[in-house]
Structure 1
Amino acid sequence: MTAINPVTTLEIEDGIAVLTLDSPPVNALSATVRAGIRDGVAQASADPAVQGIVLICAGKTFIAGADITEFGKPPVGPALQEVQALIEDAPKPVVAAIHGTALGGGLEVALVCHYRVATRSAKCGLPEVKLGLLPGAGGTQRLPRIVGAARALEMVTSGEHVPAAAAAEMGLVDALTDDAALRADAIAFTRKVIAEGRPLRKVRDLNEKVEAARGQPELFAEFRRANARRFRGFDAPEYNIRCIEAAVNLPFDQGLATERKLFLELMQGTQSAAQRYYFFASRQVWNLPDVPADTPLIPVKRVGIIGAGTMGGGIAMNFLNAGIPVTIVETAQPALERGVRTIRANYDNTARKGRLSAAAVEQRIALLTPTLDLAQLADADLVIEAVFEDMAVKKEVFGKLDKIAKPGAILATNTSALDVNEIAASTSRPESVIGLHFFSPANVMKLLEVVRGDQTSKPVIRTSMELARKIGKIAALVGVCPGFVGNRMLAQRQREAQKLVLEGALPWDVDRVLYQFGFPMGPFAMSDLAGLDLGWTREKSSSSTLREILCEMDRRGQKTGAGYYDYDEKRNAKPSPVVEQIIRDFAARQGKSSRTVSDQEILERCIYPMINEGARILQEGKAIRASDIDVVWVNGYGWPVYRGGPMCYADTIGLDKVLATMKRFEAELGADFKPARLLEDLVAQGKRFADLK
């Protein structure tokens, strides 16, 4: 065995050179890895004793992609295209032996090998679109030559990971094997290629499948139409489509030039920068500076949930999905039965869509124990309260829990805004109390705000974070303050949206601007979807807000066919002249005169105060990092990932611009726009939120 460099070895076995990459954790295509492949293939190609070459990886995976830490930095080492050309033009057959994942640049390397052998558990994909990019090393030109244009379009625009069996069926890999036999079978396959005199097959020369799509522009037009909603706002999917069009309609080298040009445009754009920022933010969020990685974990083998309503049932499903038994408690049998029926219905719907087997549904339901007896939670390792959002009610529940729960159990509240410290004070063990703020619907939404109280112990914090990972959530650790991070910032946007409609903007104007910015829907459309009567009662209604007036008129949102908007029988929304007049009359009674409000003002007044509040949150230490705030907003509130999150967006447009606009609004509109001290300090220092450590 010969060491080519620190991460690459070459071993010759009866005429077959086995080039092994070993660069943990995922054999990313760093400069060292690229150099190792180049030098190893060159050495094997020049050795007369070598008849064929197997490229294989040690560890848990094949090459899982580019080393994105090199993005935006001066190039070092050989370019990937240079390495690929050496493989593709090798005078001896080169076979890629794939296990784990061959993703992005990893699959692009495999595509320049003459043949590919994969384990049955392997997966292949080109996920660059998720970073706002396209495969920049020939992936968009070679992939359709193997799998066809239609399949390539779906793969490059979704970034999906294709299982090995499907990859073999579409011709992406040539043979399948078991994990333990990969090395031996790849060598045997290479010998078979040599013995049968098979050609050194270059994917770039396989034109049959792209020629079949040539002259069919409707293929691409229909794909764009069918996916318009999914691709809305994103640049990268369209650029990927153009590359596949180039593969179909242009000679290979011209298509490659098109791919390179479009890749560089994306790489230099703000969307990819934001999506790459978010990629690292979503990993950094798990790093807790004051909670060491060796902090003991509390075993959680059984979970108790108090409340079987929408939130409680959704929370329960997360743990059932992870194979953790759940005891769910209600105060009345009808409510309990209704909650269990809803859980069952959710699972049955998933099964009908083919995403869950009937057996899997029964396994999950079998883990659920419904009860009216709070004492049944005595053996739970974690108890989550999901009752009405009222401090007195929650304190009463925790007082009872304190007497029932076993020593060491984690006591969690699902409050979305209330003081976790006050709740913890109603127990004799505040160190065991933590906030676990799930977002509705809890069985779907990815975000979990983990709210540490002043006395919450480090084992409780670390256990909560690791449990979030186990149930498939992305968790952000935040501190106690009204609304925590997400809702505290949302309140700024909601306040300004309501003020804007009294000054002359209409609900559909505000919604349109925020929708065009990239949100799934604006605040008024969202209110109609959720129901305007959440927390409203006719007995206490005083016609003091637009929402109260609409509820009093039974305009309570989509469910009643009217809210801020009018709805048809299919719940399609249209602006309501009735609501427009209600707004005009309400504003006049308050002495407000109507004016023209520009789209720019709507956007700045809704977004900039959120950024300013994020600065206050950082200033107060209620979030660890600016990037944690962005993770909250992308995962919990639909902030477009191609804008990175509110704090990333602020860095992108310039903190000096945000500060100047806030000062102008403060002078014109009052103290709601007073800039945070941290924002002023960062501008004075010429720094960004990303510079905070």
Structure 2
Amino acid sequence: MTEQIQVEKDGFAERGPAQHPDVEGVVIRRVQSIAIIGAGTMGTGIAIAALDAGFHVLLLEREKEALEQGERRIGDHYATRVSKGKISASLSQEQLARLQGSIDWQLLARIDLVIEAVFEDLAVKQDVFRRLDGLLRPGSILASNTSYLDLDKIASATFRPSDVVGLHFFSPANVMRLVEVVGGAATAPEVLATAVHFAKRMGKLPVIAGNAFGFIGNRVYSAYRRQCEFLLEEGAYPEQVDAALEAFGFAMGPFAVADMSGLDIAWRMRKSQAATRDPDARYVDIPDRLCELGRLGKKTLAGYYLYEAGSRERKVDLLVTELIDRARSESARPSRPLADEEIQRRALLAMANEAALLLAEGVAQRPDDVDVVLVNGFGFPKREGGPVCWARKRGQEALENDIGWLASRSGPGFVRGNLTYLWKGED
């Protein structure tokens, strides 16, 4: 029986993962002690979430300076909470007392679950897992916080791939409820079930995903962002695309989000895929050109927009306008004015089509899982219920026609999904 956590008035449901066949009735492993590898923004966010849930946390780094920065970040978080009256000073002290920072990895011998939260690079993560393999006791669980890398390749660095699972937290990890729990080819059922249970103990909303590029959320969001990049090549500018999607209900448009996250993250991902990319598929290099100019988003005070230090305001930059105009002329694609309605429609249809593809591949087990991830992790407007819910409202026949229209606009490389999967499991 599905555990229903919450149902909104518009029919959007957040559902627990209990129905998933890989975790039903499975006896879980005991998790009392956890360790987090990496004291950066993500690692400290996960640590705070675990401390708030009552866990004792071992925070590990390789260098003392990085560890001290992470510990200071956690201490500042609790000090701010106390100053704002969110928690008492005594509770803050109690939570901080359960934190142990160290650069001594030998302490891992007593840990039940370790979460790796280091740089998003396959070689770096494999190196960490190779090291963990010789330190953790039998039965300990090795979790990776990777957001798009191949979990099986990470697990291949160990002699115990059955103990490896993905725990993809969303930033800031101490605030965002969503966690994608990723099962690899060798992940033992009790490891997957334990990861789900652990996430729920942390007060998180776990959604099980298969091991494929980007899992559920980043896979769908990549299709959305790619379609928005097509729109830049065809006549829109970042500020128009962002405004149109914010008018639909997104908290931030895709280019504002890219600036906030850092353009180098997606750039690094695209470069890693370059060798396997279909050479005939449509590819927009506008984001690459920005990165090559050192415009990596808010952290460099320039990306798709210009920023001032300490300000959230984004300003249109004529340099970006000129760069886009130049890219358009070189692409030889006809440029035309684009209405906000077309921008919204194409972006949302791209999400719905990608959802159908990953459901057919088994990356997501249920259409509801896609909606839960996109609403809780990517700011899809809750009143719309998620991209699958939005697509279903159009009706299957109309949606088929819409996707045909989207394919004609998207050009070479567009893969059309089997839309019947969007209605999977419905009575």
Q: TM-score, normalised by structure 1?
A: 0.56
Matches within 5 A, 1:196-215: none
| Gap change, CA 1:536 and 1:453, over 3 Å in 2 | closer
CA contact (8 A) 1:489 1:614 kept: yes
- Report the Cα offset of residue 563 of structure 1: 2.7
SS in 1 for 2:115: strand
Aligned match of 2:319 in 578, 581, 599?
578
SS in 1 for 2:111: coil
Deviations 1:337-393 (A, max 9, x none): 111111111111122211111111111111111111222111100011111111122
Q: Does 1:335 align with 2:335?
A: no
Q: Does 1:658 align with 2:399?
A: yes
Higher-Rg structure is 1
Deviations 1:69-112 (A, max 9, x none): xxxxxxxxxxxxxxxxxxxxxxxxxxxxxxxxxxxxxxxxxxxx
CA–CA separation in structure 2 for the residues paired with 1:347 and 1:481: 36
| Gap change, CA 1:552 and 1:612, over 3 Å in 2 | closer
Number of the residue aligned with 1:308: 39
1:645 alignment partner AA: G
Number of the residue aligned with 2:24: 292
| Gap change, CA 1:398 and 1:461, over 3 Å in 2 | same
CA–CA separation in structure 2 for the residues paired with 1:592 and 1:531: 28
CA contact (8 A) 2:16 2:207 kept: no
- Report the Cα offset of residue 548 of structure 1: 4.2
CA contact (8 A) 2:349 2:406 kept: no
SS in 2 for 1:378: helix
- Report the Cα offset of residue 692 of structure 1: 4.6
| Gap change, CA 1:558 and 1:393, over 3 Å in 2 | closer
Greater shift in the superposed pair: 569-578 or 458-467: 569-578
2:174 alignment partner AA: N
- Report the Cα offset of residue 493 of structure 1: 0.9
- Report the Cα offset of residue 290 of structure 1: 3.6
- Which consecutive residues of structure 1, in runs of 5 or more, have no partner in the other structure? 1-67, 69-129, 133-271, 683-687
Q: Does 1:689 align with 2:413?
A: no
| Gap change, CA 1:646 and 1:381, over 3 Å in 2 | same
Aligned match of 1:404 in 135, 142, 146?
135
Q: Does 1:277 align with 2:9?
A: no
| Gap change, CA 1:573 and 1:370, over 3 Å in 2 | same
Aligned match of 2:368 in 627, 650, 656?
627
CA–CA separation in structure 2 for the residues paired with 1:618 and 1:536: 26
CA–CA separation in structure 2 for the residues paired with 1:612 and 1:453: 24
SS in 2 for 1:303: strand
CA contact (8 A) 1:659 1:675 kept: no
CA contact (8 A) 1:308 1:328 kept: yes
CA–CA separation in structure 1 for the residues paired with 2:307 and 2:249: 23
CA contact (8 A) 1:286 1:475 kept: no
SS in 2 for 1:417: coil
Greater shift in the superposed pair: 474-483 or 525-534: 525-534
CA–CA separation in structure 2 for the residues paired with 1:532 and 1:622: 26
Aligned match of 1:639 in 364, 370, 380?
380
CA–CA separation in structure 2 for the residues paired with 1:531 and 1:667: 31
Number of the residue aligned with 2:257: 526
CA contact (8 A) 2:181 2:195 kept: yes
| Gap change, CA 1:389 and 1:558, over 3 Å in 2 | closer
| Gap change, CA 1:371 and 1:586, over 3 Å in 2 | same
1:351 alignment partner AA: V
Deviations 1:540-562 (A, max 9, x none): 9xxx9433443455544334443
Number of the residue aligned with 1:374: 105
1:546 alignment partner AA: I
SS in 2 for 1:451: strand
Q: Identity of counterpart residues, as a percentage?
A: 42
Aligned match of 1:613 in 354, 359, 376?
354
1:304 alignment partner AA: A
CA–CA separation in structure 2 for the residues paired with 1:304 and 1:316: 9
1:283 alignment partner AA: R
CA–CA separation in structure 2 for the residues paired with 1:437 and 1:533: 19
Number of the residue aligned with 1:461: 192
Q: Does 1:473 align with 2:181?
A: no
CA contact (8 A) 1:413 1:435 kept: yes
Number of the residue aligned with 2:277: none
User: Relative contact order: is structure 1 or structure 2 higher (C-alpha 8 Å, sep ≥ 6)?
Assistant: 2
| Gap change, CA 1:551 and 1:392, over 3 Å in 2 | closer
CA contact (8 A) 1:567 1:573 kept: yes
- Report the Cα offset of residue 661 of structure 1: 1.8
Q: Does 1:515 align with 2:255?
A: no
CA contact (8 A) 1:503 1:594 kept: yes
CA–CA separation in structure 2 for the residues paired with 1:561 and 1:284: 40
- Report the Cα offset of residue 512 of structure 1: 1.1
Number of the residue aligned with 1:565: 305
CA–CA separation in structure 2 for the residues paired with 1:429 and 1:534: 29
| Gap change, CA 1:470 and 1:328, over 3 Å in 2 | same
- Which consecutive residues of structure 2, in runs of 5 or more, have no partner in the other structure? 272-283
Q: Does 1:648 align with 2:389?
A: yes
Deviations 1:583-637 (A, max 9, x none): 1122223333421122222122211121111111111112121101111111100
Matches within 5 A, 1:6-25: none
CA–CA separation in structure 1 for the residues paired with 2:153 and 2:301: 40
CA–CA separation in structure 2 for the residues paired with 1:613 and 1:561: 32
